[in-house]
Chains A and B, each alone.
Chain A
Amino acid sequence: MTEATPTGVWLYAVTREPVPGELTGVAGEGVRVVEGHGLAAVVGDVPLGSFGEEALRRNLEDLDWLSTVARAHDAVIGAVVARGPAVPIRLATVYHDDDRVRAVLDERHAEFAHTLDFVTGRTEWGVKAYLDQQPEPDESAARAPASGRGAGTAYLARRRAAQTSRAEAEDRAREQVIAVHNRLAALAADACTHPPQSRALAGHHGQMVLNAAYLVEESAARGFAAEVARCDDECAAIRLQLTGPWPPYSFASLEES
């Protein structure tokens, strides 16, 4: 172990094929592999000045830094997955040196192999559903001249009306969302749902009512996308958005041992 170089080994993914170079990692470093047990850990050497424990804690709270690193991490994983089956590793998994990475491959090789088998030939697709919102009634009502009632009473009445129509729309949307999720899950090898994203993170998309991921056979991808489009056409209360193909982030979990 050389104390001279203040770097750590950042882990991106585990795959079976050695990954050719040319990939640039989260610290602008060249990405390389550490091999063991017929597996290749895709890693990069990152300076501990920015990626050490103390620095990471500080930097991860910096949204600009986090988004750059998250995109770079995702880009490396995406490039690896484009070359062959791989399991993505969660952001900010850093080891002291290659020996420690080999130790992880050694300790977990059976689980990695199992997960690799599971995701081989399959791709993750994301489907989000948003409430297809009608213009909010309280916005137009707000501009109507106040009646004889107190301004507070009128405000409360508007709020109540808005809440009722919103609740009805949500009920309708919920039924459609369940139906859509079942239809899509039937075409997938596996499916899971994530918590809906906060509106600010998602942008101006309206209220998210489904945030699901589907692991789909590559041969079935076209049919899956077509089914998403059909569901979108048929369900008036919701609007669907398809994202992907993603590396199998949502389906790469090791059994807790």
Chain B
Amino acid sequence: MAQRQPGSQVSTVGSGGSSSNLGDILERVLDKGIVIAGDIQVNLLDIELLTIKLRLVVASLETAKAVGINWWESDPWLSGDSGKLAAENRELRARITELEGGRAEIEDGHDD
């Protein structure tokens, strides 16, 4: 699943152009700039939480590459479908148990 893509190099310096990805913009408009209290109270910490959720998803998959750039479309947290996530977790735990069972058998069979 973790396919390496040798062609997907970022443009480094020298291109002279501005290559602002979503992360660049978000970190600036959410975290930087002048922070003054508006009349409408929005806790932007809630938004930072979103990034933490993202990291958890990434860590749980062990490879960010598998998530790809469309991560928000498939993330049940972000799409609000947490029931799906719970189901997926149960499924994964079941698979782990199954795999661990299988591995014990293999190692028993090996018997060095």
**Complex Cα gap A102–B13 (Å):** 42
Instruction: Give the number of A-B contacts (CB < 8 Å).
Output: 185
Q: Does B97 contact A (CB under 8 A)?
A: no
**Complex Cα gap A91–B10 (Å):** 28
Question: Interface on chain A toward B: helix, strand, loop, or mixed SS?
Answer: mixed
Q: Given A53-B40, A53-B41, A152-B107, are A201 and B33 also a contact pair (CB < 8 Å)?
A: no
**Complex Cα gap A246–B20 (Å):** 9
Q: How many chain-A residues does the 8 Å CB contact rule pick out?
A: 72
Q: Does A228 contact B (CB under 8 A)?
A: yes
Q: Does A183 contact B (CB under 8 A)?
A: no
Give residues of chain A (75-123) contacting chain B, Cβ–Cβ below 8 Å: 77, 87-96, 100, 104, 108, 112, 115
Give residues of chain B (55-103) contacting chain A, Cβ–Cβ below 8 Å: 55, 57-58, 64-65, 67-69, 71-72, 78, 80, 103
Q: Does A126 contact B (CB under 8 A)?
A: yes
**Cβ contacts A to B, 28 pairs, < 8 Å:** A11-B36, A51-B40, A63-B50, A66-B47, A67-B26, A70-B22, A87-B33, A88-B29, A90-B34, A90-B35, A91-B29, A91-B33, A91-B44, A135-B4, A139-B4, A149-B112, A151-B107, A198-B51, A200-B54, A200-B67, A204-B65, A241-B11, A242-B12, A245-B18, A246-B28, A249-B29, A250-B32, A253-B32
